[in-house]
Amino acid sequence: MNKKSRSKSLWPLAGLPLLLAAVVLLQGGGLDKPVSLLAAAALALFALGKKPAETLRQRLSPLALAVGAYFLLALAAGLSSKWGWVAVGEWAKYLTAFCAFGLVLARLEKGAVDRLCGAVAALCALVSLLSVDAASAGLLSRPLLALIDRLGGEYALMSTGYEVGVRITGIFGNPNALAGLLALGIFLSVSLLQSSETGKERLWAAGLTMCNTLGFLLAFSLGGMAAFAAAVVLYLLLTPGEKRFSLLVTLAETALLALALAFAVLPFLGRAGLVGLWPLLAGPAGGVALWGLQRVFRPAGRGRTAAAVTAGVVLAALAYVLLGYNWTGGVALDPGETLRRSVYPSGGSYQVAAQWDGGPVHVTVESQNTRQTVMHTSETLYQGPLEEADFAVPEDSRVVYFNFTAPQGARLERLTLSDGQKVPLGYPLFPSFVANRIQGLWANQNAIQRLEFFRDGLKIFARSPLIGSGLGCVEELVTAVQDFYYESMYVHNHYIQVMAEMGLLGLGAFVAMLALAALALWKGRRQEEVDPLLPALGACLAMMALHAGVEAVWSFSFYQLICLLLLGAICVRFARPVEKLAGKRAGRVAGLALCALALVGGGLMGGHVVAAKQYAEMKAGTRPQYASSMDSLARMDAYGWAQYKLDLAVNAATVEGVYGQRAGAYAARLRTLGDYEINSQLALYHYLPRGEWEDFFAASREGLEQKASSDAAWQEQFAIYEAVFASGAVEDPAWFAGQCLETYDRLLSLNQGRMGPVALSPENEAFLRQMRELT
């Protein structure tokens, strides 16, 4: 490859990263449905033709087939879900990602994979810049996100800035998803840096590398860090021996520069004006510094010297982490600031000996046992002046937190418990956000609560182990299986998420997809000359697979899109086609299949979008609404049909004739969904006006099964019972009272052995006492 053609392959085309940026930013703003429609249209348009057919027949590999199977199972899970109004949002993510994969498969030349990976690296760097900027001056991010919101986005509703003293949250409002995306960008930009030959190429790649790395570090996702560390090891192992030393040095230089920049950037995060521009410029400035280091020190080779330096770098990294964690000192406490520090004392009584300079210091001491860490609660042991702190630690305590405040400011120098244990205050070798994030590390409540999420996800999976309960089922069913109330759309483990939504079939397809990609890379490494891109793609694959086990990253549309693009890159570059599917007819059939899937998926999404728009117009009074209109919308929308049938069941509850009969049939159909909101409306606005009392209570209880752990749901139902009783519509008060008490008995049964018992309001309790007097 000559220098001119090589330069074209390394430098991303201007249009591709801009197109990816537009798609990702629109997805991040919640515009998944319109984006999925555009993606489906693009695939339907570009999958057909002589050239795509010829290309596809060379790419019908086991990996491509596994991705197709995963997509089809997601399609089925979306249509079979009882909660179509939630499933359609998840389906939009799958549709966009699969269409992107299909376009790569049908249209991307093998030699253009470098440009695709370069475009992804550039996209990630842009996201990093915008995320850092959103946490400071907002020069670029504020107008851009506002523009997307004018198109219907929801960035204004997200936390897209800075958790003071903790980390940046990123433009997508989730630092864990940001870290997962930027980790992929780091591997791809480092690969670009390693393979660059000219000074301009190296400067560009160094800038991308430092922008991605600084953003990743500032997001500081503990799960992301662990997955990234493992992926780095794999990156080194996959790299040929003669290039491994150079890669290690590059990674070490990048890490040191990013750490130095983090120290320099922290004081300016959360600040507007000119000083807030420095965090935005820090990444590119670090790129120039890395470029300079690469020019001066870019060694290559292997042997004893390389091995010795490699061992030295690894030991130095471990020493830094251990020394940084254990070497502590004093810390300044600004007025209005709260400093949180943790220790792990045994049960017993304690006093503190403290030394500080400045004004008075106030401290709140909290303890958490295992149950409290899971539920994100704590027990306050002491609250008052630091010098008078005296408290007893429970025997079952896992961690004790000290929360310091100083209204006039102070500098804490030393704090020691009466048993001699020191409370760590300042960490000179760590940036402040790292020091703050590692508090309670050995009893991390987020990590412990993740295990509870996993268990609840497995409970949902057990309800339908083979095919799952459909897309969106976790959000809707988690309150039916949990031991204490919390809200979560996802399990935070994509393997369990897929098991719950698509059963063992879905899990098999997802794991096969990752495993076959790994196999394709492994076979590629056994070639005489290893593709320079292979180690980076292997590291990206490891990051995707490992991070999926501890975070909900795959449930973010922009992350899933990038993952499918990279799987497409692996498929194009390394996967081998199934011999029996390499004929010309197979290519044409594959093109037709891709086009058909795009049309079906896009058609389903289009039907939902059109129906939802018409229904909104009816509710706004700009479009006439008839009973027949609801039937038409329900037929049009495969996902949101329940809302239209509910509308008819409620509004035609007491109508005589065909629509009254249809309203009753729709009510019976809707009750099979077991949704709390739907059942509550049916009970109050369908069965109550019709005088169908047994169905009134049955619908109420069926809905409560879904929201079993919600205080608000139980309180609302008993409030409805009370309002109905007070209305004078009840003909047999004793029977009605017995039904109310039967619902209460179900609550008592539910509360047995629960970690977080459901509580009723005082008004509910008073009403139940009244009901007991009637029986």
Q: How far apart, in whole angstroms, are the C-alpha atoms of residue 188 and residue 194? A: 10
CB 138 within 8 A of CB 271: no
Structural tokens at position 90: 């998840």
Identify any residues that bridge with 410 across adjacent strands, giving them in sequence order.
333, 358
Rounded Cα gap, residues 569 and 575, in angstroms:
9
pLDDT at 301: 58
* Secondary structure E strands in 147-270: 162-163, 167-168
Tally of CB atoms within 10 A around 31: 21
Q: Give me 434's structure tokens.
A: 């790292």
Rounded to an integer, the average pLDDT of 173-200 is 94
Cβ-count burial of 355 within 10 angstroms (0-12 exposed, 13-18 middle, 19+ buried)?
Answer: exposed
Q: What pLDDT was estimated at residue 305?
A: 65
d(CA 569, CA 104): 7
The Cα–Cα gap between 183 and 198 comes to 25
The answer on pLDDT for 207 being more than 90 is yes
Query: Are the beta carbons of 338 and 404 closer than 8 angstroms?
Result: yes
Phi-psi region of 503 (alpha: psi -120 to 50; beta: other; left: phi over 0): left
Alpha-carbon distance 163 to 175, whole Å? Answer: 10
SS3 (DSSP) at 754: coil
Confidence of residue 593 (pLDDT cuts 50, 70, 90): very high
Statement: residue 668 has pLDDT above 50: yes
Q: How many other C-beta atoms are found inside a 10 Å radius of the C-beta of residue 41?
A: 15
Please name which of 653, 648, 715 lies closest in space to residue 683, comparing C-alpha atoms.
Answer: 653
Neighbours of 723 (CB within 10 A): 12
In the chain, what is the straight-line distance between the N-terminal and C-terminal CA atoms, in Å?
Answer: 90
Q: Output the average pLDDT for the chain.
A: 91
Q: What is the tens place of the pLDDT at every residue in 484-494?
A: 999 899 999 99
Please tell me the distance from the alpha carbon of residue 250 to that of residue 13, in angstroms, as a whole number. Answer: 25
What does the pLDDT read at residue 6? 43
Q: Is 389 helix (H, G, I), strand (E, B) or coil?
A: coil
pLDDT digits (tens, 9 = 90+) for 370-410: 899 988 889 999 999 999 999 999 999 999 999 999 999 99
Q: What is the pLDDT of residue 530?
A: 83
Average pLDDT over residues 668-691: 95
Residue 89 burial by CB count (10 A; 0-12/13-18/19+): exposed, middle or buried?
buried
Lowest model confidence (mean pLDDT) among 82-86, 278-282, 622-626: 622-626
406: its two tokens: 């100083």
CA-to-CA distance for 567 and 66, rounded, in angstroms?
Answer: 11
100-104, 106-110, 134-138, 525-529: least confident range: 525-529
Q: What CA–CA distance (Å, rounded) separates 145 from 126?
A: 13
Q: Helix or strand or coil: residue 577?
A: coil
Average pLDDT over residues 716-735: 94
Check if the beta carbon of residue 530 is closer than 8 Å to that of residue 66.
Answer: no
Going by the DSSP 8-state scheme, the letter that residue 637 receives in this structure is -
Please give the backbone phi and psi of residue 730, each rounded to the nearest 5 degrees, phi first.
-80, 125
- According to DSSP, the residues that pair with 167 across neighbouring strands are 163
Residue 619: which residues within 8 A CB-CB, separation 6 or more? 625
Tally of residues, the chain: 775
Q: What is the pLDDT of residue 14?
A: 55
Lowest mean pLDDT among 3-7, 33-37, 53-57, 426-430: 3-7
Number of helices (H) and strands (E), helices first, in the chain?
Answer: 31, 10
> In the β-sheet with 362-368, what is the strand arrangement from edge to edge?
338-343, 399-405, 362-368, 379-385
Q: What is the DSSP string of 327-375?
A: --B-EEE-TT-EEEEEE-PPSEEEEEEEEEEES--EEEEEEE-HHHHHH
Banded pLDDT at 87 (limits 50, 70, 90): very high
Per residue in 264-318, pLDDT (tens digit) is 998 888 887 788 889 999 999 999 999 998 887 766 655 566 667 767 777 888 8
